[in-house]
Every structure is written in structure tokens, then in C-alpha cells.
Amino acid sequence: MIEKLQRHSEEILKSQERVLISVVGKGGTGKSHFGKYLRNNGFGKFKQSSITIIDDKKMWIDFLYFFRRSVRISYSGVDELRPILEKLPVRKKIIFYINATPLKRITRTDILLKLYTDEETRFKRLQGRYANNPGMFRLALESDNIIDGIKYRYMVEANV
């Protein structure tokens, strides 16, 4: 998966300044965990300093060069992330948008990364996450990942 993401990203960067990678999947498939991995390690030849992670309503930004902090980002409907992208430094070449329902914010992406896992693993992850909130657990368990309508150049799928 990482090799495909790197290869597709390099191809896209030949013709444009940035790559938008939308990471989708049902609740409990590992989207946020994958985002944390990217924040700490980068991917392929792309270092952390060239990557921005937007996970639902939070974005991690560089702070005093060595540190990163999360900031809440406002939601204004389908805006193709324009308010965020306009403020990013030029060195940020790869933007990961992690969201189970990306159509609420975007209609197109360069790469659509679809994560999935077996239902037993997903159930256990959600059970741990929502141990004290049975209502949210049921909602997350019944959630569906609707991506019909998102335009993309490449799709990568991964079982995590």
C-alpha cells in the first residue's frame, strides 16, 4: 500500500503542486491509527515535514519546528478544503484527509485510500473505543462508508 501511495503521489506531483489523499473506511478500520503513523513516520520518500494530516475536524501543524500540535478546523460544508489548503506552507506537498464521510467536505481527491478490516476486528476496536457509550458504539458499528460521488485519479485499497 505505501509503495502504491508513493508511486501515485510522485506521478501526480509531476503535474501539480500538491497531492490530496482521502483516507476512507468504516468506523474501526484504522483510519486515525494510520494518520498517527504518518504523522510520526512519513511514508516512502516523503518526510513528516512535507505531509499534512487532517483527521475529521483536527489538523496537525508544525509548531516551533520540532513540535506538532493539533488545531480544530472549522467546517463549512463542501469547500474542497480550500480554506485549509490556502494557508498551508509550500513545503506541504502531501495532504491526507481522513474521514469516514468525506463527501460532506470534498467531491474530488487525487488518491482515494480505502481501508477495511474483518468485522470481528472492527467490532473489538469499536467496543474498546465506545465502552462507556453504547449509543455511539451502535452508530459506529452500523455506519456505512459512502464514497459514491467522489472523483479520484487513483484508488488504493488496504486491509488493516
> Beta strand 94-98 with 67-72: parallel, antiparallel or unpaired?
unpaired
Q: What type of residue sits at position 53?
A: I
How many C-alpha atoms does 121 have within 13 Å on its Cβ side? 9
Q: Are 92 and 51 in contact (CB under 8 A)?
A: yes
CA angle at 90 for the pair 84 and 92, rounded to the nearest 5°: 70
Read off the pTM.
Answer: 0.87
Proportion of the chain in helix, strand, coil states, percent, rounded to 5? 35, 30, 35
Residues in the chain: 160
Q: Are 111 and 5 in contact (CB under 8 A)?
A: yes
- Among the listed residues 152, 37, 145, the one whose alpha carbon sits nearest the alpha carbon of residue 106: 152
Q: What is the pLDDT of residue 4?
A: 94
According to DSSP, residue 43 is labeled B
Sheet holding 67-72, edge to edge: 67-72, 58-63, 51-55, 94-98, 19-24, 108-116, 151-159
Mean pLDDT of the chain: 87
pLDDT band of residue 67 (cuts 50, 70, 90) is: low
Distance CA 91, CA 103 (A): 27
| The pLDDT of residue 120 is above 80 | yes
pLDDT band of residue 146 (cuts 50, 70, 90) is: low
Q: What is the pLDDT of residue 71?
A: 72
Q: What is the pLDDT of residue 107?
A: 94
| The pLDDT of residue 12 is above 80 | yes
Domains of the chain: 2-159 (3.40.50)
Q: What is the pLDDT of residue 10?
A: 97
Average pLDDT over residues 27-51: 90
pLDDT band of residue 49 (cuts 50, 70, 90) is: confident
Average pLDDT over residues 70-90: 83
Distance CA 146, CA 132 (A): 27
Strand segments, DSSP code E, in the chain are: 19-24, 51-55, 58-63, 67-72, 94-98, 108-116, 151-159
| The pLDDT of residue 102 is above 80 | yes
pLDDT band of residue 145 (cuts 50, 70, 90) is: low
